[in-house]
A and B are shown apart, each in its own frame.
Chain A
Amino acid sequence: MIAAAGFAPVVDAAGSLPYHQLHGYIPMPQQSHHMFGAGFLFVGVLLVVEALAGHVWHRNRLRTLIWPATIMVLGGGMLAVVALDPKDKLIHFTIGLIMFAAGWVEFRHRQGEIPRRTADLWIVPALIAGGMEIGVFHFHGSFTSSGTVHILMGLTAALMAPVRVYQTRLLTSMPRHAFMGAMVIILAFELLALGH
């Protein structure tokens, strides 16, 4: 969080965008949450399919890389939200950066460049930090439906950390792999259910 504060000038620069002129083209916060939910639903289901298909899934390199690539795209999308949404810039920026980096680490792992446990060194803390940011800082202390859903999303993201460690302990386990997919699907439906 402290390191991310160093990017404040970049984040502030986005604040000078002519929002009034762009109005009508920019998705509303609720709508961008729904778009992210659709993205997570797509990759979450594909993670379950990957668990069921095993080697068959990885016959195609594109399929192997679709999970980390989608996380990187969603992270990039979150960085775009920083430029388009004047609210909660620092939170969106750090979550976007964390997601992009986590996707890149998973990408390198799937390319065989780094071992799983090295990838987990970044991904597990990233999930906890992401969960904290969504559930605690993005919650804004309001128990409205939006606030409650943000707490649930934060909890889901943070719970993915132990699930990831559990999965790493037996990488050949199909149910453990599918469990992670199910967690991503839960996160997707929380995002889709969000109404501001």
Chain B
Amino acid sequence: MSMRARAIAIGMIGPLVQGAGLLWVLANALLDSGRGLSLRYVSFDPAHLVLFVGILLSFVCLPIALEVAAAAPEDVELELFEREAGSEPAPADEVASAWEAVTE
């Protein structure tokens, strides 16, 4: 997947969720137009919540999309949180080895 495609996908994901929320709100308004609009209703209504999450995601994802667009291909490889080889093993590593033996 190219950097450009990744950046576009990341940048569009927030507005996409927002759009889904907006469609849901509109569908609710069409199907159940008699319902009043209170703060409690807006705070817990799933359609409004999806809309809010979409807005939040747009703010979070936009800078990441810009960073990805400017990044090199090796910068978008997935991060491994494992300890580097040669460092002192933690006691938990022994448990991990046992788990590895079971799963392989």
Is A56 touching B56 in the complex (CB atoms < 8 A)?
A: no
Given contacts A42-B57, A53-B10, contact A115 B77 (CB under 8 A): no
List CB contacts (< 8 Å) of B38-63 with chain A: 43-46, 49-50, 52-53, 56-57, 60-61
Q: How many residues of B contact A (CB 8 A)?
A: 41
Quick check: is A174 within 8 A (CB to CB) of the other chain? yes
Chain A contact-residue range equals: 35 or more
Quick check: is A23 within 8 A (CB to CB) of the other chain? no
Nearest residue (CB) in A for B5 is A52
Quick check: is B85 within 8 A (CB to CB) of the other chain? no
User: How far apart are A128's CB and chain B's nearest CB, in angstroms?
Assistant: 15
Count of A-B contacts judged by CB separation below 8 Å: 121
Quick check: is A97 within 8 A (CB to CB) of the other chain? no
> When the two chains form the complex, which single residue of A31, A53, A114, A193 contacts B6, counting CB atoms closer than 8 Å?
A53
Interface residue SS majority, chain A: helix
Q: List 23 A-B contacts (CB under 8 A).
A: A27-B44, A35-B49, A38-B49, A38-B52, A41-B53, A45-B17, A45-B53, A45-B57, A52-B6, A53-B10, A56-B68, A57-B79, A110-B81, A111-B81, A113-B92, A114-B90, A117-B103, A118-B96, A121-B95, A121-B99, A165-B103, A172-B77, A174-B1
